[in-house]
Chain A
């Protein structure tokens, strides 16, 4: 098992463009989380999937953000009409469905909006 992977690792885009990030969780993990982390801050919860069902979305997740996990395996996070304030590290984590389990984090995708 290679752990949680994210692609791309870095993305530079111009304001107004759409971007999509991919997360591949650990294969037997049912739960998948997306977080956003800005410099000097801890990860902020964005959204959470149990298998293919999106169970919760943060109010940070404006209507420009959408996440999917169509087959309960990999997930995508799309940001439409990017703004400079979207520049951050986007982290994905997964965990098994065993109560409040440890989360395993990917390396993150660093987004820079110019």
Chain B
């Protein structure tokens, strides 16, 4: 079945460091790919998305490119801030017989130190 695998955390970085969180997926068909973020004490919210191969999603300085050939959707940010400390979830959404089903990775916790 469809699945998402992302790098285990926690990831600890100093402010202004470069961030990469790896995400790979397994899916039949052509899913849409998402990164959701959960800040401390808050609900999940969409960070960025890409709906087809080679699309790049971007938001708040974060980027991820839909790579069909490597089935990957790695999250990157050039210079992290303390306020980026959160849990990041990679997810895919694929149409199935009932509608659309979203599969989430296990999440990667990011700590950014001042």
Contacts and interface: CB of A to CB of B under 8 A. Distances in A.
Nearest to B6: A42
Nearest to A42: B104
Given A105-B45, A107-B43, A108-B43, A100 B100 contact: yes
Interface residues of A, number: 25
Chain B's interface: helix, strand, loop or mixed, by majority? strand
Given A40-B106, A107-B43, A108-B43, A45 B91 contact: no
A106 B43 contact: yes
B101 interface: yes
Interface string A34-68: 01000011111100101000011000000000000
B51 A91 contact: no
B73 interface: no
B17 interface: no
B99 A50 contact: yes
Interface in B85-102: 89, 91, 93-102
Q: Which 10 A-B pairs have the closest CB atoms?
A: A56-B98, A42-B104, A55-B98, A100-B32, A105-B44, A105-B43, A100-B93, A102-B46, A55-B99, A107-B43
